[in-house]
Structure formats: C-alpha cells, structure tokens
Amino acid sequence: MTQTYLTRIGGLIRDARRHKGMTQAELAELLGTSQSAVARIEQGKQNLSLDTLAKIGDALDSEFVSLGHSGPQHLRIVGGQKLSGSIEVKTSKNAAVALLCASLLNRGRTTLRNLARIEEVNRILEVLASIGVRTRWLPDSSDLEIIPPARLNLADIDVAAARRTRTVIMFLGPLLHDYSEFRLPYAGGCDLGTRTVEPHLAALRSFGLEVTATHGFYEAHSDRSVNPTRAIVLTERGDTVTENVLMAAARHQGTTVIRNASPNYMVQDLCFFLEKLGVRIEGIGTTTLTVHGRGEIDVDVEYSPSEDPIEAMSLIAAAVVTDSAITIRRVPIEFIEIELATLDGMGMKYDLTPEYTSANGKTRLVDLTTIPGPLHAPTDKIHPMPFPGLNIDNLPFFALIGAVAQGSTMIHDWVYENRAIYLTELTKVGARVQLLDPHRVIVEGPTKWRAAEVVCPPALRPGVVVLLAMLAAPGTSVLRNVYVINRGYEDLAERLNSLGATIEVFRDI
C-alpha cells in the first residue's frame, strides 16, 4: 500500500474509533494488539493485512474501514425484553441532505455541527468528494467541515453513490447559477414506487433551467438571463422541491416568492441556514416564502440542524411496542404534535418537560417519558398530510402501534405507491395486517409477536418498523440486509442496546 493510502485509512480508522467513543487501548484490546500498534495504524505508519482490516471493520462496525464489498449488514435481535433509561434524538437525515446541497451555494467554509452520521450522508459526501468538494469530520465530533473548490468537477460525479440517494436532484437549485450545461444521474433512494421530479423541473424553469432526461441522466441547460417574473407556485407542497427552489432563489439577486411551499422541519432548517449565509427570508414556517437572494455568497458559516421528528417517533414506537417506560430527550415537539394527539386518542400516556431550544436557536424541544399501558385502535383511519399534518414518514410507525392496540386500525398511505405494501412484512412476526389495496392496510391488535428471520424491506421506515416489532417478539429474530435503515439512523442497534435491547450487528463472511 502506498503511504498516502495508509495515511488515509489510518485517518478513517481514527475517526471511526473516536466516533465509537473508544480509546486506542480499547481498540487494541479488541484486536489483540498493543495501543502503540493502533497509534501507528492511525498515523499510517503500519502496513495492514486484509485480515487486520477485517478485524478493525468488525471492531468499529464501520463502513469506512470495510474496504471493497464487505457484504450486507444484518441484525440479530433477542426480543421480548422491556426497555428502560433515556435516549437522545439525533439530528435529521432530511435536514442533513438539504444542508449538504446548500453548502454548494457558499464559496466560504461551511461547518455543520452535530450532523447525523448515516449512510445517506456518506453517499452525498462521496458525491461531493468526486466533484472536488473537500469535506472532513472535525476531531472527536460529528461536526463536518465543507470547503468547495473554485469550480466543481461535475464531469467526474460519482454516479454509483448519487444513484443510491434521491438527494442529487437537490443539486439543480444550487448549480444552476454557475453552470450552464451539466448532467446529474437520475435520483434513486428508497424503493417507494415512482416519485415524480416534475414539480422540481417546473419550478426551476422560472430560473432558466431546462432539463431533459436521457439514458439515466438529467441533462441540464441553464440560461442565466431568465429570472422569475412572478411568484413561483408549487404544484404540490413537497419538501425537497421547496428546498430546491429556495436554493435557486438564494443566489438570485432579487426577490423570489414561493407559494404552496412546504413549512416542514427540514425546510425550516434550510431557511435558518440560508439566513446565516446572508439570504433574507420572510414567512419561514408558512406556505409563502419571500426570498431576498444574493448574487455571491462567500462566508465562513456554522449551523446546527435540529432534531429528527421521525427518529423521535421511531423511539416512541419502540417504547409502545415493548410496553416500556423510557425518556426520549430532545424531541422536536412542534413537528410531532399531531402524532402525539393521535396517540392520545389511542389512550397513550406520557409526560413532557417544559420546552427548551435546539442548538439552531429556533426549534422547540421537549423530553418525553412514555408511560406503559394498554392502547386501543383509533376511531378514524390514520393518514398523513404535508406539514402541519401527521408526517408522511411517521405513518408506518402507526401500523406497528396499531398492532399492539386493541381493535382494528386503518392506515391510509395515499402518498407512496409501495410503502403500505411493505407493512404487510409485519405478518412475518405475528401481526395481523391485511392489505386492502396498495394504499390501505388494516391492522388487528393486539398481537402475539413471534420471532422470525426477515429480509429488510427496501424502504427505510418499514424496515425500522419490522426491527422494532422484533424487539417485542420473544426469542431470536434476524433482520437481513439493513442498509436502508443505516441510510437514515445513526447506530440504531447500539443506541437501542443502551436502553436494554439485545441487538447484534453481523455480516456474512
């Protein structure tokens, strides 16, 4: 191995070890070597055999050091145990991906504090690296520093990484000001059925962007003489489309009005970040945004995204399904109010602390303690709505909660073609879930959970729902191929273990 390669791997190992909160001595013990050997490895001064690399990968359970194709990750869950203690909600995937794209608007240095260290972020970091953006995790933290080059090298974009996320579509808004011709791979992400990009393309046309889709790529042509002449009215109140238009408007040296904008949590985080870049925005948290952009943005800026309401809901569902009292700290209350009101209607009890503020200085947080007790099915069907409504990504957790409640719960996912279908995977662990049509399921509770081996559905939230059901199922379950879960949750298995769960992460040899 060349020296630079060794130094790079050493740096990755050091970062992954620190991230796990391990000392060099502790890692050395797991590897059966000395602390000084670990120090040499981290400095890039030690040749590494494949065997040692595999052991380090195992010990740190990190994709960063499992080189090449390390094979899918699986979880082995010993269920039927109650959870206890407290857990902190991490910052959100959806704000993280928007902010990573928004960093492209800034010629200066962007530091994102406490970013979720998840696979979705890793894929975008790979994409950013491939086009020449320098990023690094600051020591002993989850703070990410981003420094763009003078010109992006878009021709070298990492197509494989880009295709694994939908986020790449949000490069359009930031890029259209500086690049007149470029191509981006088609957006991927969870397999939730067709997800339209038409609202993005329609809205960005106001900024002179024309996109044709050919052979797996969006071919973009941007005419900088075209600027919005009237309010941009979104045809649907989508989160990423609002973000794309906000990012285009941020560098438009004039005023852009966006109507039918999503006021959802990740959009608010993006607005607060853009304000730090010097962009003035009126109407944050409403469906009409007025953006006063800046032709050039060159500032050194720091931003802390807010906590993830979907992770908060996932942890509430973990408590409900295991009938446990746990405290969930840093719950972004304004983005989960309707979910809590729905749970109130199902007879759930919980305590909330007074509100305090997230590190972004804006988002209101509480600590929530669950109180175990029987639940009953809601009177009406549960369906999501764009914010302020029951969050679309929180809907799957209500299938799980419906499965422990007495009676039948109707879940109506009008949004995604495929997501409700994946909820029928819960039948493999004993739930009675009936698919009425591709958008509606009826769940009959309560459930006598049973352990099973299941391949993780190819969608993040349904995957987590099955994992949480396995926590409730007495015996040993296996959930295979959990990449989609790691796409959106940081160290979920380990963090549930800190509450008393027994989940082992393993890979095939």
Ligand X SMILES: CC(=O)N[C@H]1[C@@H](OP(=O)(O)OP(=O)(O)OC[C@H]2O[C@@H](n3ccc(=O)[nH]c3=O)[C@H](O)[C@@H]2O)O[C@H](CO)[C@@H](O)[C@@H]1O
Ligand Y SMILES: C=C(OP(=O)(O)O)C(=O)O
Residues near ligand X (CB under 6 A) are 94, 97, 166, 195-196, 236-241, 266, 386, 392-393, 415
Q: Kindly give, in sequence order, each residue whose CB lies less than 8 Å from that of residue 51, ignoring residues fewer than 6 positions away.
A: none
Binding site for ligand Y (CB under 6 A): 166, 189-190, 192, 393, 460-461, 488
Tell me the closest approach of the beta carbon of residue 195 to ligand X, in angstroms: 4
* Of 10 and 309, CB closest to ligand X: 309
Contact 413, 384 (CB under 8 A): yes
127: Cβ contacts below 8 Å, ≥ 6 apart: 157, 158, 161, 162, 165, 168
Q: Among ligand Y, ligand X, none, what does residue 401 contact (CB within 5–8 Å per kind)?
A: none
Other C-beta atoms within 10 Å of 347: how many? 14
**At 4, which helix (H) or strand (E)?**
helix 3-19
118 vs 496, which CB is nearer to ligand X? 118
User: Which of ligand Y, ligand X, none binds 44 (CB below 5-8 Å, type-dependent)?
Assistant: none
Nearest to ligand Y of 90, 166 (CB atom): 166
CB of 119 to ligand Y, least distance (A): 11
Closer CB to ligand X, residue 6 or residue 460?
460
Report helix, strand or coil for 347.
coil
Residue 477 interacts with which of ligand Y, ligand X, none, CB < 5 to 8 Å by class: none
Q: Beta strands 453-455 and 475-480: pairing type?
A: parallel
**CB 263 → ligand X: shortest distance, Å?**
12
15 or 120: CB nearest ligand Y: 120
Q: Give min distance, CB of 384 to ligand X, in A.
A: 8
Smallest separation, CB 392 to ligand Y (Å): 8
Of 305, 314, 352, the residue nearest 496 (C-alpha) = 314
Binding partner selected for residue 386 from ligand Y, ligand X, none, CB under the kind-specific 5 to 8 Å limit: ligand X
Identify the CA nearest to 63 among candidates 135, 123, 3, 124.
123
Spatial CB neighbours of 269, under 8 Å, sequence gap ≥ 6: 92, 95, 98, 99, 303, 305, 306, 360, 363
Residue 460 partner contact from ligand Y, ligand X, none using kind-dependent CB cut-offs of 5 to 8 Å: ligand Y
**What angle do the packed helices 395-404 and 460-472 form, to 10 degrees?**
20
| Residue 387 C-beta: closest distance to ligand X, Å | 8
Question: CA nearest 66: which of 130, 139, 6, 13?
Answer: 13
Cβ proximity to ligand X, 240 vs 327, nearer residue: 240
Tell me which of ligand Y, ligand X, none is bound by residue 196, counting a contact when its beta carbon lies within the kind-specific cut-off of 5 to 8 angstroms.
ligand X
- Residue 461's binding partner among ligand Y, ligand X, none (Cβ under 5 to 8 angstroms by kind) is ligand Y
Asked if residue 193 lies in contact with residue 416, where contact means CB atoms within 8 angstroms, the answer is yes
Min separation Cβ 29 and ligand Y, Å: 37
Q: Which does 488 bind (CB under 5 to 8 A by kind): ligand X, ligand Y, none?
A: ligand Y
In terms of CB distance, is 119 or 367 closer to ligand Y? 119
Closest to ligand Y by CB, 190 or 232: 190
State whether residue 103 is helix, strand or coil: helix
State the residue number with the nearest CB to ligand Y: 189
238 binds, among ligand X, ligand Y, none (CB under 5 to 8 A by kind): ligand X
The single residue listed with the structure tokens 């010097």 is 278
Kindly state the smallest distance separating residue 261's Cβ from ligand X, in Å: 11
- Residue 266 binds what, of ligand X, ligand Y, none (CB under 5 to 8 Å, by partner type)? ligand X
Residue placing its CB nearer to ligand Y in the complex, 465 or 501: 465
Evaluate the CA torsion angle 508, 474, 488, 90 in order and state its sign: negative
State the Cα torsion 494-498-501-505 to the nearest 10°.
20
* Tokens 């130094």, located at residue: 7
Instruction: In angstroms, give the least distance from the CB of 278 to ligand X.
Output: 24
Least distance from ligand Y to the Cβ atom of residue 396, Å: 8
- Do residues 227 and 252 make contact, with C-beta atoms less than 8 angstroms apart? yes
Question: Residue 111: beta bridge partners?
Answer: 145, 302
**Closer residue to ligand X, CB minimum distance, 47 or 194:** 194
